[in-house]
Amino acid sequence: QVQLVESGGGLVQPGGSLRLSCVVSGSFFSIYAMGWYRQAPGKEREVVAVISNSGTTDYADSVKGRFTISRDNAKNTGYLEMVSLKPEDTAVYYCNVGLDLTIQTMAEFVSWGQGTQVTVSS
């Protein structure tokens, strides 16, 4: 079964930047789509960005133009580059993989990693 390890979160001021990493342990990472998700206190988990196995990307409107999702199949690792961070971006960020992930759908994943906390505060 796939295992997911997110890292790179931290405390930043508004306007700051972070780069999150997601190491995926398992087979066939290169054929899966990968997505980033976040959950703020009192909120439902939401889709932030997705990238297909071919490299096509899509983003939630709230982060479009500020976040960039990417992947390195040789390292079984996905990334989320975040710039111009806002307090509204504060959440625990998770990654996951699947055969067909979309920005419109919160997929029913079997399991999640521990996530990484992003806090944007002055």
Confidence band, pLDDT 50/70/90 cuts, at residue 27: confident
Confidence band, pLDDT 50/70/90 cuts, at residue 26: confident
Phi, psi (rounded to 5 degrees) for 75? -105, 5
Residue whose structure tokens are 């040789």: 74
* Residue pair 20/7 in contact by the 8 Å Cβ criterion: yes
pLDDT at 19: 98
Confidence band, pLDDT 50/70/90 cuts, at residue 3: very high
> Each residue of 83-117: pLDDT tens digit?
999 999 999 999 999 998 999 988 889 899 999 99
User: In 3D, which of 33, 45, 37 has the Cα closest to residue 20?
Assistant: 37
Q: Exposure string (b/e) for 85-120, b if CB count within 10 Å is 16 or more?
A: beeebbbbbbbbbbeebebeeebebeeebebbebeb
Q: How far separated are the first and last CA of the chain, in Å rounded? A: 40
pLDDT at 55: 95
pLDDT at 105: 86
Q: Which two tokens stand for residue 93?
A: 């960020």
> Each residue of 46-70: pLDDT tens digit?
999 999 999 999 999 999 999 999 9
